[in-house]
Structure 1
Amino acid sequence: MSTYISESLRNLIGESDRQRCCYCLTTEANSGIPMSYDHIQPISKGGETSFENVCLACRSCNEFKSDATEAVDPLTGETAPLFNPRSQNWSEHFSGSSDSTKVEGLTSIGRATIVRLRMNNSVIVAARRRWAISGWHPPAN
């Protein structure tokens, strides 16, 4: 299975995802680090390179997600699927903390995704704090 992503597919994904990480909502403009393309269902597990299965992800979320499709919900201790940005609504599974520095899980899917992708690691929390002070974070809708 090829991992090549055509320019037209890249453009469609970038426009649809508003040039931000579909998991933690980091933008390339804020971080200065180019977004990567994440196969929601990894190629190693039969996923295809299609709009329905590829989304933008920041380097951190993409690297920590790796080829995982599920993780343990820290509240229940049960295994839950990871958030799928193509078929699920972000605001149903996540919210931002009152100071905009952390992503909070509202469901087992949200909590498991936060843990697996380390969405509140100290580096990104410190960056979000600076972005919030500058009025750059959280991104509009």
Structure 2
Amino acid sequence: MSRQKISEIVRAQVSQRANGLCEYCHASEQWQYVRFTIEHVVPISQGGADRLDNLAFACFHCNRQKSNRMMAVEPEALMEVPLFSPRRQIWQEHFIWGSDLVTLVGLTATGRATIAALKMNRERILSIRAADVAVDRHPPDGDLSRSD
């Protein structure tokens, strides 16, 4: 099956819907040197399509780590669970920033499996987030508004 290039119009729609954030790790494209990608939540290889309801805005690293996977091992129970789906799930129900505002913490098995599989707390991103916290551009607006 040949893949068609995602148009700039669709890319802009996906980016706007995501507020310019990677829909997995919540990095902001605004502060990155590499343009973010359009990711297929359900990979083409698994029957996904180029429709808006299957596209997510993703940083290069999250997209590369996710690849064509939809499942991953949850590190505590060592069970395979679905990866986070930005089209069907709410980010704040699966993830929260740790007290340092740098480390991403999984609130659910899906959150923990996604953090592990996409290496969302690798050393390099922790350093970037710490620098962003120091200049008050991390965490993104809305990420700290949990009320429980």
Q: TM-score, normalised by structure 2?
A: 0.91
Identity of aligned residues (%): 38
Provide the aligned C-alpha RMSD in A: 1.0
Q: Partners in 2 of 1:3 and 1:59 — Cα distance?
A: 19
Q: Report the 3-state secondary structure (helix = DSSP H, G, I; strand = E; otherwise coil) of the residue aligned with 1:111.
A: helix
Q: Partners in 1 of 2:55 and 2:113 — Cα distance?
A: 20
How does 1:74-113 map onto structure 2 within 5 Å? 74-113=75-114
Native 8 Å contact 1:38 1:62 kept in 2: yes
Shift of 1:117: 0.3
Which protein has greater RCO, CA pairs closer than 8 Å, 6+ apart? Answer: 1
Native 8 Å contact 1:30 1:136 kept in 2: no
Q: Partners in 2 of 1:15 and 1:39 — Cα distance?
A: 16
Shift of 1:118: 0.3
Aligned length: 141
Amino acid at match of 2:122: N
Which residue number corresponds to residue 12 of structure 2? 11
Which residue number corresponds to residue 146 of structure 2? none
Q: Partners in 2 of 1:31 and 1:39 — Cα distance?
A: 21
Q: Partners in 1 of 2:23 and 2:41 — Cα distance?
A: 10
CA deviations on 1:85-135 (whole Å, 9 max, x unpaired) are 011000000001111111110001000000110000000001000000110
Q: Partners in 2 of 1:27 and 1:3 — Cα distance?
A: 26
Amino acid at match of 2:25: C
- Say whether 1:68 aligns with 2:62: no
Q: TM-score, normalised by structure 1?
A: 0.96
Q: Partners in 1 of 2:29 and 2:13 — Cα distance?
A: 16
Shift of 1:10: 1.2
Q: Partners in 2 of 1:11 and 1:30 — Cα distance?
A: 17
Q: Report the 3-state secondary structure (helix = DSSP H, G, I; strand = E; otherwise coil) of the residue aligned with 1:38.
A: strand
Q: Report the 3-state secondary structure (helix = DSSP H, G, I; strand = E; otherwise coil) of the residue aligned with 1:140.
A: coil
Q: Partners in 1 of 2:46 and 2:73 — Cα distance?
A: 19
Q: Report the 3-state secondary structure (helix = DSSP H, G, I; strand = E; otherwise coil) of the residue aligned with 2:129.
A: helix
CA deviations on 1:5-41 (whole Å, 9 max, x unpaired) are 1222112111100111000000111223211111011
Q: Partners in 2 of 1:110 and 1:7 — Cα distance?
A: 30
| Structure 1: tracts of 5 or more residues without a match | none
Which residue number corresponds to residue 25 of structure 1? 26
Q: Report the 3-state secondary structure (helix = DSSP H, G, I; strand = E; otherwise coil) of the residue aligned with 2:57.
A: strand
